[in-house]
Amino acid sequence: MLVSKRLLSTTFQPRFLDKFFKPVVEASNPRKHEVKTLIRPVGLVSPPTPHTKYSKGNSFKDLFDEEKTAKRTEELSREMSYSAMYDMHTFRQTNGKLFLSPKAYWRKDRALYFPHIVGKSLANKKLSIEEVLKGKLSVVRMFSNSAGNDLTLQYLKRIQNTKELQFINIHWVENVLKSAIVKLSKWNIKNNVPKESHKDYFICSRSQLPFTIRDELKINNMYTGYLFLVDKDLKIRWLGCGGATTLDQEILANSIEGLLKE
């Protein structure tokens, strides 16, 4: 009964809500984006499986766990900082180059995992992307628009004829409206993608990866494009963003050569 009274207390609720929401509101004015070189491996600690589910927030019970509430508040504060307007401004400011790629591929014992993503290919087959990636060295491009697509194509100049390499495309769909648009223009996408590549081109809902997961993967800005080099064990060994420099193309080609010998 004491617990019930406290939950209904007018003094408890504002204090509790203020503690939770004040840092979130204060985060609405984000700092200017700083372009840095990736050094630490990017990815997730656990390997993807068809049964993987990513948490999108705290349960009601977790709201009364101070440590979990503090962590969730920090997550929400960061999420509030990155609005669509901020992402667009950052894209224009950096020309889509949100970070600089690592100077060499990440070692296998330090590399982290690619996420679990479900998508439908242009060949109309619904799959978990890890099923396609497992056992093969893959270049995975991610984009949600033509700008991201065009930018990431620049990375393929020196590697597009590598027979031992698998090329996978993930076309993100942001919301229901865009999903309908993509469906209506699917015939156009098919016409622009060689038929033999339809099985490797996936349309995926971006919402299946919560903000915190996308943040760990460095893929939160929807306006640019990303390129992942993923090994046969589903580990991310290299990552590019935006357009490719000559150095990016060289490092990627050398990384692929090294991983094929691994």
Write the CATH number for 27. 3.40.30.10
Low-confidence ranges of the chain (pLDDT < 50): 1-28, 58-60, 63-64, 72
Rounded to 5°, angle at Cα 234 from 140 and 155: 25
Per-residue pLDDT tens over the stretch 205-245: 999 999 999 999 999 999 999 999 999 999 999 999 999 99
Question: For the range 84-91, what are the long-range contacts, defined as Cβ-Cβ under 8 Å and sequence gap of 24 or more?
Answer: 84/222, 86/30, 87/220, 87/221, 87/222, 87/223, 88/223, 90/33, 90/221, 91/221, 91/223, 91/224
30, 93 Cβ separation under 8 angstroms: no
* pLDDT, position 71: 57
User: What are φ and ψ of residue 8, in 5° steps?
Assistant: -90, -5
Can you read off the two tokens belonging to residue 17?
């809500």
What is the domain count for the chain? 1
One-letter amino acid of 236: I
As a whole number of angstroms, the distance between CA 189 and CA 55 comes to 32
Q: What is the pTM of this model?
A: 0.80
Its domain, for residue 80, covers 2-261
Pairwise CA distance, residues 65 & 102, whole Å? 38
Give the integer Cα–Cα distance in Å for 113 and 237: 9
